[in-house]
Chain A
């Protein structure tokens, strides 16, 4: 099991720094783990904790949140908002029995392609050690009731 386990990691990136860092890594042909699926947001401050919870409930083993370095936010200070949400969310998830190590906040500037790639690789390895999260797919659960409409 552990040998064939490939972590599914969702990575949220911000348009101005971390997405461009990933772009820089790509342009420079820097390899990073293909386990991460990057989703671009305009800002880490756009990150609704719902996105993270939905990812975990939908089969992700870990979620990476990335943004501009403190003080560098394109929208002045929204990355601090992301930081506060992240810290609150991590505690809440811990109370639900989800290892706090399954979500991670990483700051990366547009120039830090190498660093972001290294951080991604490291996070994927950390999730590999934690193993699959395996949250039941409640949204796919079919009840025996004949009246219920199946939700895709």
Chain B
């Protein structure tokens, strides 16, 4: 034990990309080590849940919590770390808005289990369904149970700060770490509770160097189906669905700069209540038609509007799920 503030990072339902993004801050990771005592970080070191349970409440200064709430273990650890942490950061898109795992909310939970254990791709269908509780010679063991839907971290516990991104950009993580170290040394104050940190307030378009000419389009195309895009003109105006107009700035328009459309991983920009609704508004503005039939024809070019508009945001949106999810669960 030493006098350094304690640091924890946890992954709930996530891919591990957030941890890689943290390690990707290169030599700055040494500052983390110098400034903090890392007490719990499953991807980096061995630690048990009971070690965390034995800590005093509020004794961890900073917890970066990534991953969505897929099962009861995720929720349990979220509550545990909330209790033990002074500053709880909802880190990355999964924790903040559900991200790709959140798209599972379009289906009932049972359908997900069936797909995983009971389709043509599974050998010996129905024989290997996971048992929540199991007796083995050493005693009783249990595995976490799937929640009926994916929830975001703030739908489970009180969150101090939000850090969007899939994953958050490493330079943003480095800036946030620098700030926290300054706070610890008394050289800066924490931002107001509930702030979005490590990102800008505006939209990707604000950071995007491409030119927007208010040109209207007569067809949407998938990016792989068109000739290479003009590198100087707005991607949306070239007919490729780009989520930049509703997406929070902070990544420096990384994808549009290299010729790919923004897919929206930084989540809703400041003031956006429902991300998908805001995107519908901006897409509707570039469609060049006043005839219902022609408009329908143009939007046929977006094969999966729900997936396009709620790719990262479904679990954090106003509706949160598809109807079949809660209907099957008998909500």
Q: Which residues of A contact B (CB under 8 A)?
A: 48-50, 52-54, 56-57, 70, 77, 80-81, 83-85, 87-89, 91-92, 94-98, 135-136, 138, 141, 143, 145, 147-149
Going nearest first, the 9 A-B pairs with the smallest beta carbon separation are: A95-B306, A97-B323, A84-B284, A49-B277, A50-B277, A147-B158, A85-B284, A57-B318, A92-B305
Interface size class of B (residues with CB under 8 A): 35 or more
Query: Measured between alpha carbons, how far is A55 from B273 in the docked complex, in Å?
Result: 13
Q: Are A54 and B273 in contact (CB under 8 A)?
A: yes
Task: Say yes or no: is B320 at the interface (Cβ < 8 Å to chain A).
Answer: yes
Chain B residue numbers with a CB within 8 Å of A50 are: 273-274, 277-278, 318
Query: Measured between alpha carbons, how far is A11 from B276 in the docked complex, in Å?
Result: 21
Residue with the greatest number of chain B CB neighbours at <10 A, chosen from A48, A54, A84, A91: A84
Of the stretches B12-20, B45-53, B113-121, B288-296, the one at the interface is B288-296
Q: Are A56 and B158 in contact (CB under 8 A)?
A: no
Q: Is the interface of A mostly helix, strand, loop or mixed?
A: helix
Chain B residue numbers with a CB within 8 Å of A77 are: 290
Smallest Cβ-Cβ distance to A57: which chain B residue:
B318
Task: Say yes or no: is B34 at the interface (Cβ < 8 Å to chain A).
Answer: no
Smallest Cβ-Cβ distance to A137: which chain B residue:
B331
15 contacts between A and B (CB under 8 A): A49-B280, A53-B317, A54-B318, A56-B319, A77-B290, A80-B290, A81-B285, A83-B292, A84-B284, A84-B295, A85-B281, A88-B283, A91-B299, A95-B106, A138-B320
When A53-B319, A84-B295, A145-B157 are in contact, do A92 and B79 touch as well, CB less than 8 Å? Answer: no
When A48-B281, A135-B319 are in contact, do A84 and B287 touch as well, CB less than 8 Å? Answer: yes
Q: Are B82 and A87 in contact (CB under 8 A)?
A: no
Expressed in whole angstroms, the minimum distance between the Cβ of A16 and any Cβ of chain B is: 19
Chain A residue numbers with a CB within 8 Å of B305 are: 88, 91-92, 95
Query: Measured between alpha carbons, how far is A143 from B151 in the docked complex, in Å?
Result: 11
Smallest Cβ-Cβ distance to B319: which chain A residue:
A57
When A84-B295, A91-B305, A135-B319 are in contact, do A49 and B157 touch as well, CB less than 8 Å? Answer: no
Expressed in whole angstroms, the minimum distance between the Cβ of B101 and any Cβ of chain A is: 17
Residue with the greatest number of chain B CB neighbours at <10 A, chosen from A48, A52, A98: A48
Expressed in whole angstroms, the minimum distance between the Cβ of B51 and any Cβ of chain A is: 21
Chain B residue numbers with a CB within 8 Å of A96 are: 106, 306, 319, 321-323
Q: Is the interface of B mostly helix, strand, loop or mixed?
A: helix
When A97-B324, A136-B326, A145-B157 are in contact, do A53 and B82 touch as well, CB less than 8 Å? Answer: no
Query: Measured between alpha carbons, how far is A77 from B291 in the docked complex, in Å?
Result: 12
Task: Say yes or no: is B27 at the interface (Cβ < 8 Å to chain A).
Answer: no
Smallest Cβ-Cβ distance to A54: which chain B residue:
B318
Q: Are B157 and A147 in contact (CB under 8 A)?
A: yes
Query: Measured between alpha carbons, how far is A34 from B307 in the docked complex, in Å?
Result: 36
When A138-B320, A145-B156, A145-B158 are in contact, do A53 and B284 touch as well, CB less than 8 Å? Answer: no
Expressed in whole angstroms, the minimum distance between the Cβ of A63 and any Cβ of chain B is: 12
Query: Measured between alpha carbons, how far is A4 from B112 in the docked complex, in Å?
Result: 36
Smallest Cβ-Cβ distance to A88: which chain B residue:
B280
Chain B residue numbers with a CB within 8 Å of A87 are: 292, 295-296, 299
Chain B 294-306 interface mask (CB, 8 Å, partner A; 1/0): 0110010000111
Query: Measured between alpha carbons, how far is A111 from B331 in the docked complex, in Å?
Result: 45
Q: Are B322 and A148 in contact (CB under 8 A)?
A: no
Q: Are B273 and A92 in contact (CB under 8 A)?
A: no
Contact of B307 among A95, A147, A149 (CB under 8 A): A95
Expressed in whole angstroms, the minimum distance between the Cβ of A120 and any Cβ of chain B is: 21
Q: Are B274 and A54 in contact (CB under 8 A)?
A: yes
Chain B residue numbers with a CB within 8 Å of A92 are: 276, 280, 305-306, 309-310
Chain B residue numbers with a CB within 8 Å of A52 are: 277
